Structure 1
């Protein structure tokens, strides 16, 4: 699929297998964009074909140039804060960065300026991009690794759907206490709030469904290095599930781990997903940047 950014436009050449499709079907069926966003794009006349406004129900031909006004001048929704970030992938629609430990993904209160989102805003600003910083998922304050931000509403809407459909695959490395009896397994236990502790979660019959897959990478007596993949993204999911299994994360004092590191030994090592606009497969690997027993492991 031929695409490019031209000024504030995203241009896409209609491929042969899209013959006789319409603007309506591309938005609703191919990209499955939300109705509210489609309505907004219609009202603001954001889409042209070969430079012309046409009815959205007119059939398009292979080779037609679809032009979407996606790159609009907007104010930053978080304050840009000077600092370096490690970019794993970036184009005009999204950015994947390697989050360091000890930093929140985004501001939780007005005026916060020391989060990853603030650093991403500065990165955009320094490259002359005026766009929102739209997180697709989160990592805990003390969890490091790969994380995705969208740059405009259409990209965010599609990435949100891909996440809900479990098409965004996240692989974590964790160092846990003890030696696991099974080389691999699945933990399928609902997770809810702990009524006795504001920040804790726990396995609870009344909680939300949560599914975690794990596989032993290496035994490092008295620890085990495991690779973990999630089907769901509950708060503290890996930490809660591994603790429930009897193998809390090293350094995770909130869930029974011993304070052998300054943080829990958990790192989002790899992320893969289809590109929201082109369907190209994106794969990113993130090196662990501090010493929590994971730094010498890359996928």
Structure 2
């Protein structure tokens, strides 16, 4: 674990043994894999200090030295803050993991006209905490999907987590209530996904689509109602991936009318139950479990902490 402390607009990291001999340039480029443009701005705008002085980006660092990064300055807000209760599963100076309720969008489609998204609510939360910075969404959930979703609280964290998402270093585990009893009880769906030319928002399995891989395991079966609760995790993050893949193998989500599900529940029965990552600024292993919020209950007799 790294030794860190916030100091107003600055964030201090005590250089660990693993960083000794590396330059600041290598920390940004190789350790964090930050974008070149962002790295350049930190360098040109003197947003990094070494032991309180302007840092030389090309001199090897010594263990125990103190690096300070200017991360928390105020920004012009791009999203209109709007109050809504939010269920925060984890928060520190860099990131937030939030339990998204169903029936709201993750982000506004029109930043000026739409103020009812989760991003608007989090922008209000940040502002009310005295943090005048833009919240940065790392991934998204469909309007009807509930559960854990990750946001960054400053530009460097946003860039690092974007890269981690692409490299599959953020693990997301979902629960789905589907029609039918699956055989086999676990497996991998490897089927490319593309747009459905006959529907503006629908996706479908298509040989010309993007690679898409979904792992699944059956957790519970309701043989009387011929339904199953399935745990899924992804190697890729395509739009509607779980919905498309489970429908493709003949087991659409309950409530997911778009992909063949029956309206036996009041929404598509998909919940982002768990989110895991290694924190880039502390090296802590972060695990967040998102409690169910549906009434009536959709995922019955499931202990979310055992997923």
TM-score range, shorter chain: over 0.9
Aligned partners of 1:140 and 1:105: how far apart in 2?
7
Match of 1:227 in 2: 231
Q: Distance in 2 between matches of 1:127 and 1:250?
A: 39
**Where does residue 107 of structure 1 map in the other structure?**
108
Give yes or no for contact 2:80–2:111 (8 Å, CA) kept in 1: no
Give the CA deviation at 1:295: 5.7
Query: In the alignment, what sits opposite 1:174?
Result: 176
Give, in angstroms, the shift of residue 238 of structure 1: 0.4
Alignment of 1:32-47 (within 5 A): 32-47=33-48
Report the counterpart of residue 268 of structure 2 in structure 1: 264
Q: Deviations over 1:61-85 (max 9, x none)?
A: 2111100001110122211111110
User: Using a 3 Å threshold, how does the CA distance of structure 1 residues 74 and 295 change in structure 2: closer, same or farther?
Assistant: farther
Matched, 1:78 2:82: no
3-state secondary structure, aligned to 1:129: coil
TM-superposed CA distance for 1:162, in Å, is 0.7
Deviation at 1:296, TM superposition (A): 4.6
Within 2, Cα distance between the matches of 1:198 and 1:38?
Answer: 38
Indicate conservation of the 8 Å contact 1:288/1:295, yes or no. Answer: no
Greater Cα offset, 173-182 or 287-296 = 287-296
> Any residues of structure 2 matched to 1:58-97 within 5 Å, and which?
58-97=59-98
Of 123, 143, 164, 1:121 maps to 123
Mark the runs of 5 or more structure 1 residues left unpaired by the alignment. Answer: none
**Cα distance, 1:230 vs structure 2:** 0.7
In the TM superposition, what whole-angstrom CA distance separates every residue of 1:203-224 from its partner, at most 9, and x where no partner exists? 0111111000000001013100
Which residue of structure 1 lines up, in the alignment, with residue 185 of structure 2? 183
Alignment correspondent of 2:16: 15
Q: Give how far 1:185 is off.
A: 0.6
Pair 295,96 (structure 1): closer, same or farther in 2 beyond 3 Å? farther
After TM superposition, give the deviation of residue 292 of structure 1 in Å. Answer: 5.0
CA deviations 1:136-189 (Å, max 9, x no partner) are 000000000000001111101110111111110000000000110111011000
Change (3 A) 1:204 1:228: same
Asked whether the equivalents of residues 189 and 245 of structure 2 are also in contact (C-alpha less than 8 Å), the reply is yes
1:24 matched to which residue of 2?
Answer: 25
RMSD of Structure 2 on Structure 1 (CA): 1.1
1:201 and 2:206 matched: no
1:133 deviation in Å? 1.1
Counterpart-to-counterpart distance in 2, 1:110 and 1:122: 14
Where in structure 2 are there 5+ consecutive unaligned residues?
Answer: none
The separation in 2 between residues aligned to 1:295 and 1:100, in whole angstroms, is: 17
Q: Structure 1 runs of 4+ off > 4 angstroms?
A: none
What is the deviation of 1:16?
A: 2.5
1:239 is aligned, of 240, 243, 258, to 243
Q: Name the CA distance, whole Å, in 2 between partners of 1:74 and 1:210.
A: 37
State whether structure 2 residue 219 is matched by structure 1 residue 217.
yes
Q: CA deviation at 1:17?
A: 2.9
